[in-house]
Every structure is written in structure tokens, then in C-alpha cells.
């Protein structure tokens, strides 16, 4: 094992502190909580966008560059120590891109902010990056400090490269792009207004709150055609070009001369902002105040008023510090809704800080923009977003409510759904279409979680369209009913759910049959006519979410519908027992022809994790011992040092009847990778079966905060990644695709509701912990529907599950649901 570390946690500040810029992969953070977003790496790489990483990309970023993570918001500091070139030191506080060795370096990734500090030759440069709440800009507060005894003459160059808005065409349509770029320079503000004269009503700007001594807006003039970001011409010569971009590649760079006396410190506030304005206010009037028609507008210059207003809101250190304090207060409030004290530092940090933080990020971005998702490929996923909101709903329920309506609006009248939608338009994405037969179930899953958290049944009466078509509205409850029915109406020969394009596993493409390397497994036409392909994963998911649906119907007085639904669930359970049990575990599927997948009879892929997790969570055949046997089989065949792999043995050859899953090399992604997302399903199934020791063991393997070998793990040690290379891979334990994964929400459910056992229910909080025998005592503080509960759980007998008594506000409680009530409450729970 490699013991080298690149940083450490600072829990008091809720930060991860990176102390070595050469992390094994860029370790990033996210800025912004609602509309304006940025990705920022530990060396200040990354980019910004407004709402939609594809259609409103503000700054340019080149994925998979050489070196990795090139381009971002860079500050170049030039110290002139004499006349000659040799006496000039050029460096960046975040080490890159110049990579001049620093005397010290530190990057603190916190809750929606990043602070990067570097020191060189007794100058300290610290940059705080954040997006103020509700604002459409990224603040960059640069603090330069002279730590020496002599006066320092410094030159500060900022740098950002504009993206021509559509991140996809920006990287391909050069015959057009090289002619369209336009900027304006006004004092210390550089405006990017490409395509503004035609259909756009938005522009971007980069400003600084001090007079500048020069600027550049043309990349070639600033960098030089034969130079790179690590030695831009202008910087290396310590002399800006004052270039004005016309086409080619517009950038924004300010040039500021700074003198610092011994011990002196100066702050500069840079703002990278975005403005959208009504058509009639696009330009300033020719004569002040006089606009009766668009002809009265002066089309030479954009209307800068909105930008100037925002700039004025952040033009002093005091104003910036105040906005930063507001951001901190926002996070204090969010993270105060569930806090655990377990005596295990790492677990507390996961539950109280990083897991909840990642849930916010996945809620915001779905699978669109990370250092593995390029922001142009995928919008918001139907199933992904429903899962993400379950990890987020306790934080800002109103946003989860809005999201549910948005998602449901992309459903079709028959219950099927668009698989993805664009965040900007909220419209279903036609490139991928629908036909993923697990999708409808997730709407029930998301909505029920929302109601249990908030008690807000009124959401069920909201009128929600199909496919965003006005006039097609039915209630959200109807959408749920139709979702439930979609499974029932699409059963195969074994009365198990037909899989359609795919279920949760996008790569189990049973109706695809692709031999053409030029087509995508994900979007190519499927041939499901006459298909017998059925999914045991959907069967389990249907039983879990179907039970939720039944309970919901009972809550709202729809007893007949509840009974009808229960019958369907009972038949599904029967079908699984009869046709979905392989002897030691649940089958995974039947293929197009009706052959078994995930059976001992198969040569490869004998056992799959998804059906064990879902049928286990559903408790199918628990009395007959099926759940326990399935979980034992998971331990035997799927488990490894770093977690459970998706399937075993891995596929070594391409199976056309299974599609993409068998396209991956053994041990990676859906082919026997440790697909972290589905490990919590097994952990939760463990808790259903009262196996607290197993649950805890696997939880630790999947939690980033328990990672031991940071070099091997490669990606950020403070958030989950989608996949860790499995036991059949070349480097088991190597992580990939960090940040945007359903793992976040599932790990949150697992820890908060199933292990620590505090579960929102219709009438209150259901207390049902499942812990390792060694757990003695812990507390959880939970805010819930206006009440604040201090819950202490004791385990004197060292059991794994079972509550023997609950004292609620000093009185013994019948059952284990603590009633929802405003005010402060104490809850004393004894297990045993
Ligand atoms: C990706 C997708 C998710 C899918 C999973 C398994 O993470 O975002 O929707 O379920 O892969 O294929
Ligand atoms: C597949 C990936 C899977 C992802 C899907 C959708 O190639 O393996 O994880 O969910 O594409 O883009």
C-alpha cells in the first residue's frame, strides 16, 4: 500500500485541504448553488456556465488535454527583481499553469467555495473563489501580501478564455467560430458579446475593482501562437498587448501593477459574471431615456447596466466578506438538519459534511458536468434526478418539489418517460428518447420521499402535463398511478417486467443487438418487438416502490386503488419466487430469447448485484431464506477489498445479446467494476435482513472518507465516485468518474435512514437502526417538519437490529414512530 497523502480533512471548517498540487488526478470542487455554476480544480482549472453546461457555457475548457486540466481562471504574478529576464519570477498561486516551484501551496475546498494560496519569494497570493447566493457571478478575491522586508513591484495578470456559448459547437464549428467572437472593453470591465447582435440576449463579463494598466482580449496576442498557458507571451514579457479581439478566440485578461511595502497586503476583487436582459433592453438608448421603438437603440454597445449593478454589489472587501458569510450561514443551516455524533470521526464527517454536500451537487448537476462528464452529453436524467432528490430533499424541500414537477412533465401518457431532459428548457431530450422501463418507478420513489420529509400531500394535486404539452395536464397522483401501471402493463412471459431499452443498468442492452461500431449502445434503435427480455432488477424495484404506492394510497383514502395495487405486487413477488430465483441468488434477467442472465448456468456473469440488492430490499422470499442466501452469495462472489463488483465472473468476450455491458474490459464500469451506486442497495438489503455487521463493513468500503491509499484511488477522497475498478481489473481499487453519481444519494439514505436508522415517515420519524454489534451509543440531531429531535440510541446488549423501548420527551412511546411535532424533543432509544 502507498501511504502517501495529498491532503487532509479540516472538519471544523468543513474543508478538504490539499497540500500537494500534484494530486493523482485533478481534485475539484463546485461553486454555485442555483443558476451560475463553476467547476474548479485544485490548481484553479475548470469552467463556468449558467444553468446549462451545454447551451450556456461561459468559459472554455478542453477536456482530456495534455497536460490534463489545462485552462481555467488563472492569475499570473510577475515579480521584477531587476532589469533582465532572468531576474523576473513568474508564478501562479495554484502552481499551474506555470508550475514554478512554490515555497508553499494549499488548496482548501469547502462548501461551495475554494481558496487557493501560494507563496513565492516572500509574496503570498491567496484567491478565494465563490458564487454569492442567488447571484449570477463568480467572485475571485485575490489577496497579495508582502512577507518580506523590502518593497515589492509586482504585476498581476488575470486570465479567462470565453466559450462561444454552446459548448458543443464551440469545439467543432471552427469555420464559423473563428469569425464570430466579439468583445467590448470599458474601463476595468471586459465584456464578451459574441452573437449578441443576433439572437442572444445575454453576455458575460470579467471585471476588477481597481483601475487597470492594460488588458488583453485576443488569445493569440496574449499567449502567442507558439506558446502555451505556462508561458504566455504577454506575461513572460511583463507587458500586456491591449488587444481587442475580432473573431478567433476572445479572452479576458486584466493587467495590474502592484507595489507592496514590507508587510503590506492588497485585495482585488474580480468578478466573472453573466447577464441576461429583455430584448427591448439589449442596447442602451441613443438618447438617454428615449426608447419608443427598437430603432431608438444604439446597437454599437451592449446595455451594461445590469453588469454594473452586480459589479457595484461586490466592489469592496467588506461587501464580498459579507456575501461569503451569507454563504457560510446557508451551509450551516443546511447541514444542521441532520447531524450525527457516533464517536467515529470518519463516519461523522461523511454523514455530517461531505455526503450531504455531494448530494446537493448531484441534485444540481445530475450527470451533466464534472471532470468526467463533459457537460455536452447528458442533461438531467429521469431516474438519476429522482434518486438525487432523495438525498437532497431534507436540505431544500421546495427545490425538490419543483424538480419532481419538472421531471413528471417529461413523462408520456402511457407512463413511459424521456430518459433525459435539458435543464435550460426542461424539455425531454429527443436524441435519447425513452423506453427505459425502470424509469417510471423512480417517480414514485422521489415523490414519496418528498411527502414523507415534508408532509406536503398537496403536491399530489398539482396539474402536470405529459411531454410538456399544454392541455395534457393530469394530477401528479395520476402520473404516479400511470407509472405504477406502466410496469404492470409491460410484463413478459414469466410475468416479470419487460426491460425495454435497459433498466437501471444502462449497459444491459438486451434488445439492441449491435454489431456496428459506429452506433451508440445508448441511443441506437432497439428491437423489442417479440422480445422476451425481462428484468429482475425492475421486479424488485417495482415491489419496493409499489409498496410505497400502496401506503400512499392508504394515506390519502384511496383504499380500492391500494388493494388493486397490492394484488399486482403480490403477483410480482410470486413471479420472482417462481421464475426469478436461481437457487442461491436472484436471477438478473431473461434475454430476448428467454434465456437466463445471471444464473449459475451461465458461463460468465453468473451473479449480478442489482437484483440481489432490489429483491433483497423488497424482502422477496425473506421467510423462505432467499434474502439471506442472496446476501451470502454477494459476499462470496461479488465482494472484494474495495467493495462489491457488479457481476461475476466478468465478461471476457462480447455478447451481442447483452450489449454494452460486455463491451467493457473485465473489471471496469458495468462489467464487474465496483459500481458504487449499487453497493448501498446491498447494504440496505443487509439492514432489511438485520445484518448490521455486514452493512457496516460494506459501508466503510464504499465511503470515500475511509480510503487508505489515495494514490491508488486517484480521484477525490472526499466524495464518492461512480466506479472503482473491480477485482478483475488491472488496478483494483482505482476510482473513476467522481462526483456525479447516484452513489451520493444512496449512501446518504443508507447511513442516515438504514444504519443510523432515522427514517421520515408519514406521521413522524421512524426509528429503526441496524448497526454493528460493537456500536454502543450514538446521537442524531434531526430537524423535521418544524421540530428538532435529539435522538440518543443505546445498544447495551450489542444487538444488530431491533428497538426494545423508546422514551419520547420523558414518556414511553408505543411503537417506533416518533410523532412529528414542532419544538424541541428528546428521544431515548434502547436497542435489544
Ligand atoms: C450511470 C447512469 C445511471 C445508470 C448507471 C448504470 O451512472 O447515470 O442512470 O443507472 O450508470 O448504468
Ligand atoms: C454508458 C455508461 C453508463 C452510463 C451510460 C449513459 O456508456 O457505461 O455508466 O450511464 O453510458 O450515458
Tens digits of per-residue pLDDT, 600-617? Answer: 999 999 999 999 999 999
Distance 722 CA to ligand 1 centre (A): 9
Q: Sorting pLDDT into bands at 50, 70 and 90, what band is 455?
A: very high
The fraction of the chain above a pLDDT of 70, given in percent, is: 99
SS3 state at 774: coil
Our mutation pick for probing the ligand 1 site, out of 610, 677, 723, 724, counting the most ligand atoms within 8 A of Cβ, is 677
Report which of 673, 672, 702 is spatially closest to residue 686, judged by C-alpha positions: 702
Quick check: 428 pLDDT over 70?
yes
Quick check: 292 pLDDT over 90?
no
Ligand nearest to the CA of 646: 1
Our mutation pick for probing the ligand 2 site, out of 374, 502, 507, counting the most ligand atoms within 8 A of Cβ, is 507
Q: Which residue has the CA at smallest separation from atom 5 of ligand 2? A: 506
Contacts of 567 (CB under 8 A, 6+ apart): none
Ramachandran sector of residue 279 (left: φ over 0; alpha: ψ -120 to 50; beta: rest) = alpha
Q: What number does the ligand 1 atom closest to the CA of 367 have?
A: 8
More confident residue, 82 or 832: 832
Q: What number does the ligand 1 atom closest to the CA of 384 have?
A: 9
pLDDT at 3: 93
* Mean predicted confidence (pLDDT) in 693-699: 98
Distance 507 CA to ligand 2 centre (A): 7
Q: Is the CB of 367 under 6 A from ligand 1?
A: yes
Phi and psi at residue 174, to the nearest 5°: -75, -25
Distance 524 CA to ligand 2 centre (A): 13
Q: What residues pair up with 498 in beta bridges, in sequence order?
A: 534
216, 384, 439, 506: the catalytic one is 506
Ligand nearest to the CA of 746: 1
pLDDT at 831: 98
- Please list every protein residue whose CB sits less than 6 Å from any atom of ligand 2: 378, 506-507, 522, 660, 669-670
Query: Using an 8 Å Cβ cutoff, are 540 and 577 in contact?
Result: no
pLDDT at 289: 63
* C-alpha cell read off for 436: 427505459
Q: Which of 364-368, 554-558, 668-672, 760-764 has the lowest mean pLDDT?
A: 364-368
Report which of 154, 157, 142, 135 is spatially closest to residue 34, judged by C-alpha positions: 135
Burial of 139 (0-12, 13-18, 19+ CB in 10 A): buried
Distance 721 CA to ligand 1 centre (A): 12
pLDDT at 436: 95
Catalytic annotation present for 506: yes
pLDDT at 279: 85
Query: Using an 8 Å Cβ cutoff, are 30 and 129 in contact?
Result: no
Q: What number does the ligand 1 atom closest to the CA of 508 have?
A: 12
Q: Is the CB of 112 under 6 A from ligand 1?
A: no
Ligand nearest to the CA of 677: 1
Quick check: 336 pLDDT over 90?
yes
Terminal Cα distance for the chain, rounded: 39
* C-alpha cell read off for 306: 445590469
Q: Which residue has the cell 471476457?
A: 652
Query: Using an 8 Å Cβ cutoff, are 471 and 459 in contact?
Result: no
Distances (CA, A) of 110 to 115, 321, 770: 8, 15, 31
Contacts of 318 (CB under 8 A, 6+ apart): none
Quick check: 295 pLDDT over 80?
no
Phi and psi at residue 343, to the nearest 5°: 85, -10
pLDDT at 377: 83
Q: Is the CB of 505 under 6 A from ligand 1?
A: yes
Distance 675 CA to ligand 2 centre (A): 11
pLDDT at 85: 83
The fraction of the chain above a pLDDT of 90, given in percent, is: 93
Q: What number does the ligand 2 atom closest to the CA of 669 have?
A: 8
Ligand nearest to the CA of 681: 1
Q: Is the CB of 772 under 6 A from ligand 1?
A: no
Quick check: 425 pLDDT over 90?
no
CA distance 556 to 700: 39
Q: Which residue has the CA at smallest separation from atom 7 of ligand 1? A: 741
CA distance 125 to 256: 14
pLDDT at 798: 98
CA distance 547 to 555: 12
Quick check: 294 pLDDT over 70?
no
CB-side neighbour CA atoms (13 Å) of 511? 21
Q: Which residue has the CA at smallest separation from atom 3 of ligand 2? A: 506
pLDDT tens digits for 173-195? 999 999 999 999 999 999 999 99
For the chain, the residue count is 832
Phi and psi at residue 756, to the nearest 5°: -70, -25
Distance 661 CA to ligand 2 centre (A): 9
Handedness of CA 800, 806, 810, 812 (dihedral sign): negative
Burial of 740 (0-12, 13-18, 19+ CB in 10 A): buried
Distance 46 CA to ligand 1 centre (A): 24
SS3 state at 698: helix
pLDDT at 694: 98
CA distance 794 to 776: 6
Query: Using an 8 Å Cβ cutoff, are 715 and 743 in contact?
Result: no
Q: Is the CB of 610 under 6 A from ligand 1?
A: no
* Mean predicted confidence (pLDDT) in 685-691: 98
Q: What number does the ligand 1 atom closest to the CA of 378 have?
A: 8
pLDDT tens digits for 536-583? 999 999 999 999 999 999 999 999 999 999 999 999 999 999 999 999
CA distance 285 to 74: 36
Quick check: 682 pLDDT over 70?
yes
Amino acid at each position: 500500500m502507498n501511504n502517501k497523502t495529498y491532503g487532509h480533512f479540516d472538519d471544523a471548517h468543513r474543508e478538504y485541504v490539499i497540500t500537494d498540487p500534484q494530486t493523482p488526478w485533478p481534485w475539484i470542487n463546485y461553486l454555485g448553488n442555483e443558476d451560475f455554476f463553476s467547476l474548479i480544480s485544485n490548481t484553479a482549472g475548470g469552467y463556468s456556465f449558467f444553468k446549462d453546461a451545454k447551451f450556456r457555457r461561459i468559459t472554455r475548457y478542453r477536456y482530456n488535454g495534455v497536460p490534463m486540466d489545462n485552462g481555467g481562471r488563472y492569475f499570473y504574478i510577475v515579480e521584477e527583481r531587476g532589469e533582465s529576464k532572468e531576474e523576473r519570477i513568474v508564478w501562479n498561486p495554484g502552481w499551474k499553469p506555470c508550475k514554478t516551484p512554490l515555497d508553499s501551496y494549499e488548496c482548501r475546498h469547502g462548501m461551495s467555495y475554494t481558496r487557493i494560496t501560494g507563496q513565492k519569494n516572500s509574496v503570498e497570493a491567496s484567491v478565494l473563489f465563490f458564487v454569492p447566493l442567488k447571484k449570477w457571478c463568480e467572485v475571485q478575491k485575490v489577496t497579495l501580501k508582502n512577507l518580506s522586508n523590502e518593497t515589492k513591484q509586482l504585476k498581476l495578470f488575470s486570465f479567462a478564455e470565453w466559450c462561444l456559448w454552446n459548448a458543443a459547437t464551440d469545439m467543432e464549428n471552427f469555420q464559423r467560430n473563428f469569425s464570430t467572437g466579439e468583445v467590448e472593453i470599458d474601463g476595468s470591465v471586459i465584456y464578451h458579446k459574441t452573437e449578441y447582435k443576433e439572437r442572444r440576449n445575454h453576455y458575460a463579463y470579467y471585471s476588477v475593482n481597481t483601475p487597470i494598466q492594460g488588458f488583453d482580449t485576443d488569445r493569440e496576442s496574449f499567449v502567442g501562437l507558439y506558446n502555451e498557458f505556462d508561458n504566455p507571451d504577454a506575461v513572460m514579457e511583463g507587458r500586456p498587448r491591449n488587444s481587442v479581439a475580432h473573431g478567433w478566440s476572445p479572452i479576458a485578461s486584466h493587467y495590474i501593477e502592484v507595489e507592496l511595502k514590507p508587510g503590506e497586503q492588497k485585495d482585488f476583487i474580480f468578478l466573472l459574471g453573466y447577464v441576461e436582459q429583455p430584448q427591448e433592453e439589449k442596447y442602451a438608448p441613443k438618447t438617454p431615456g428615449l426608447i419608443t421603438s427598437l430603432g431608438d437603440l444604439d446597437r454599437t454597445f451592449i446595455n451594461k447596466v445590469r453588469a454594473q449593478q452586480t459589479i457595484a454589489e461586490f466592489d469592496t472587501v467588506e461587501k464580498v466578506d459579507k456575501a461569503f458569510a451569507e454563504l457560510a450561514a446557508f451551509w450551516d443551516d443546511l447541514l444542521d438538519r441532520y447531524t450525527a455524533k457516533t464517536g467515529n470521526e470518519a463516519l461523522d464527517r461523511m454523514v455530517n459534511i461531505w455526503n450531504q454536500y455531494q448530494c446537493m451537487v448531484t441534485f444540481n448537476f445530475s450527470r451533466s458536468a464534472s471532470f468526467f462528464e463533459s457537460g455536452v452529453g447528458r442533461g438531467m436524467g429521469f431516474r438519476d434526478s429522482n434518486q438525487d432528490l432523495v438525498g437532497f430533499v431534507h436540505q431544500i424541500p421546495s427545490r425538490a418539489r419543483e424538480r419532481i414537477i419538472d421531471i413528471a412533465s417529461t413523462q408520456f401518457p402511457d407512463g413511459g418517460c424521456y430518459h433525459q431532459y435539458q435543464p435550460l428548457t426542461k424539455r425531454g431530450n429527443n436524441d435519447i428518447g425513452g423506453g427505459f422501463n425502470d424509469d417510471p418507478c423512480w417517480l414514485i420513489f422521489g415523490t414519496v420521499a418528498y411527502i414523507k420529509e415534508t408532509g406536503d400531500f398537496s403536491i399530489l394535486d398539482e396539474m402536470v402535463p405529459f411531454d410538456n404539452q399544454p392541455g395534457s395536464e393530469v394530477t401528479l397522483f395520476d402520473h404516479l398511478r400511470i407509472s405504477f401501471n406502466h410496469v404492470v402493463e409491460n410484463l413478459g412471459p414469466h410475468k416479470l417486467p419487460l426491460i425495454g431499452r435497459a433498466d437501471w443498468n444502462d449497459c444491459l442492452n438486451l434488445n439492441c443487438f449491435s454489431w456496428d461500431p459506429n452506433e451508440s449502445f445508448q441511443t441506437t434503435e432497439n428491437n423489442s418487438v417479440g422480445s422476451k427480455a425481462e428484468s429482475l432488477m425492475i421486479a424488485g424495484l417495482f415491489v419496493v416502490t409499489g409498496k410505497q404506492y400502496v401506503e400512499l394510497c392508504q394515506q390519502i383514502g384511496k383504499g380500492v386503488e391500494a388493494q388493486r395495487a397490492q394484488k399486482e405486487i403480490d403477483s410480482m413477488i410470486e413471479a420472482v419466487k417462481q421464475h426469478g430465483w436461481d437457487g442461491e441468488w436472484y436471477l438478473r434477467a431473461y434475454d430476448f430469447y428467454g434465456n437466463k442472465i445471471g444464473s449459475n448456468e451461465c458461463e460468465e456473469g453468473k451473479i449480478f448485484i442489482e437484483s440481489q440488492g432490489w429483491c433483497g430490499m423488497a424482502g422477496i422470499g425473506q421467510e423462505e431464506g432467499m434474502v439471506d442466501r442472496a446476501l451470502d452469495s454477494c459476499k462470496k462472489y461479488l465482494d472484494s477489498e474495495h467493495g462489491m463488483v457488479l457481476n461475476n465472473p466478468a465478461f471476457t468476450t462480447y455478447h451481442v445479446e447483452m450489449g454494452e455491458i460486455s463491451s467493457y474490459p473485465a473489471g471496469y464500469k458495468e462489467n464487474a467494476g465496483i459500481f458504487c451506486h449499487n453497493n448501498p442497495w446491498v447494504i440496505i438489503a443487509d439492514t432489511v435482513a438485520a445484518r448490521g455487521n455486514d452493512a457496516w463493513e460494506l459501508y466503510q468500503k464504499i465511503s470515500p472518507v475511509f480510503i487508505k491509499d489515495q494514490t491508488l484511488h486517484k480521484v477525490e477522497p472526499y466524495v464518492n465516485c461512480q466506479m472503482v475498478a473491480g477485482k478483475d481489473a488491472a488496478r483494483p481499487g482505482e476510482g473513476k468518474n467522481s462526483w456525479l453519481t447516484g452513489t451520493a444519494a444512496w449512501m446518504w439514505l443508507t447511513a442516515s435512514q438504514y444504519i443510523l436508522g432515522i427514517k421520515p415517515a408519514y406521521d413522524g420519524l421512524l426509528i429503526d437502526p441496524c448497526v454493528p454489534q460493537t456500536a454502543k451509543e450514538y446521537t442524531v440531531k434531526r430537524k423535521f417538519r418544524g421540530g428538532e429531535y435529539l435522538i440518543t440510541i443505546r445498544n447495551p446488549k450489542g444487538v444488530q437490529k431491533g428497538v426494545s423501548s423508546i422514551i419520547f420527551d420523558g414518556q414511553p412511546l408505543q411503537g417506533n414512530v416518533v410523532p412529528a411535532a414542532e419544538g424541541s424533543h428528546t428521544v431515548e432509544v434502547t436497542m435489544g
